[in-house]
């Protein structure tokens, strides 16, 4: 019943049409998947973006963030992935949970209209938190969306792709709440538990033994001043399994999407390619492409 609906950051229906009859109530805090119960990420998720599908393949159960910067088209890429993403196999049930954190009213309208215009809304759940909403709501928003994803994946046996944008706004809300509580700050004023808090969000992705469904995450974050050593991208990199880097120089050259394939990495790409998954010569092709890119430098 939640598919095709738009919710606020606290999980309330956006309009009268988005009201649902709840089957059950769940704690939005959930819990990271027990490592012993985890199944290894496997199988290919097609995003429709060749630089990801061909060179930095996304695998079911993986956490693959996109590192962007202010002014780069990460919102357009997020919407593109949401409407194009698919799993191979006609019998596989697939859904998208789109979580937007601290976005403007114009951005919210763009996402809603794009999902409805392309028909992607029918297989999607949208959880939208606006920039003028309270900071404490921004902290709850990803947890609301991930609870929806867990319900679809582990109770309805669906393969769920969760897109979170922008995790930088989430971290800024954590910083604001921490300062209001007069907690001792850590690096650059962020709370000392930032790593632990991010892990409680990211580690809710994965596959569980004995369950057919899976949760795959694409967190999107904007790096302040394009600084990869900033605490947010730095800690995100420790928790997740790779990163997709958006390049400002490629964006200025009008290349779309401006993905810089050389510093980008999917640590689990070998698990989602090859015979029976993509194509038998997939590994050989992306190795040749990487070599040709390095030779051009």
| Domains and their CATH numbers in the chain | 5-295 (3.40.50.12240)
**Cβ-count burial of 134 within 10 angstroms (0-12 exposed, 13-18 middle, 19+ buried)?**
middle
Per-residue confidence (pLDDT) for residue 295, from 0 to 100: 60
Q: Of 139, 159, 134, 141, nearest to 149 (Cα)?
A: 159
To 10 degrees, the CA torsion angle through 28, 34, 35, 37? -120
Per-residue confidence (pLDDT) for residue 202, from 0 to 100: 96
What number is the average pLDDT over the span 233-247?
Answer: 96
> Is residue 71 over pLDDT 70?
yes
**Confidence band (pLDDT; 50, 70, 90) for 194?**
very high
Q: State pTM to two decimals.
A: 0.94
DSSP character string of 242-260:
EEEEE-HHHHHTT-SS-EE
> Is residue 96 over pLDDT 70?
yes
**Confidence band (pLDDT; 50, 70, 90) for 281?**
confident
**């790096």: which residue's tokens?**
223
């Amino acid at each position: 019943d939640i598919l095709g609906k738009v919710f606020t950051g606290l999980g309330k229906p956006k309009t009268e049409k988005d009201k649902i009859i709840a089957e059950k109530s769940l704690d939005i805090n959930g819990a990271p998947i027990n490592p012993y119960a985890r199944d290894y990420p496997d199988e290919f998720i097609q995003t429709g973006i060749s630089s990801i599908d061909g060179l930095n393949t996304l695998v079911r159960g993986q956490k693959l963030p996109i590192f962007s910067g202010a002014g780069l088209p990460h919102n357009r890429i997020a919407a593109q992935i949401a409407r194009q993403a698919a799993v191979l196999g006609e019998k596989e049930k697939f859904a998208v949970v789109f979580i937007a954190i601290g976005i403007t009213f114009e951005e919210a309208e763009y996402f809603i209209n794009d999902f409805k215009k392309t028909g992607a809304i029918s297989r999607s759940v949208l959880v939208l938190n606006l920039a003028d909403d309270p900071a404490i709501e921004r902290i709850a928003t990803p947890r609301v969306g991930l609870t929806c994803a867990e319900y679809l994946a582990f109770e309805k046996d669906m393969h769920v792709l969760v897109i979170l944008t922008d995790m930088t706004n989430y971290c800024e809300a954590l910083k604001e709440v921490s300062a209001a509580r007069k907690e001792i700050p850590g690096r650059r004023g962020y709370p000392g538990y930032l790593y632990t808090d991010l892990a409680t969000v990211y580690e809710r992705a994965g596959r569980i033994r004995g369950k057919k469904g899976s949760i795959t995450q694409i967190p999107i974050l904007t790096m302040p001043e394009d600084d990869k050593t900033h605490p947010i991208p730095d800690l995100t990199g420790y928790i997740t399994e790779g990163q997709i880097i958006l390049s400002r120089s490629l964006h200025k050259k009008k290349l779309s999407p401006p993905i810089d394939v050389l510093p980008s990495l999917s640590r689990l790409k070998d698990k989602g390619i090859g015979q029976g998954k993509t194509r038998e010569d997939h590994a050989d092709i992306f190795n040749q492409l990487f070599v040709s890119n390095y030779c051009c430098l």
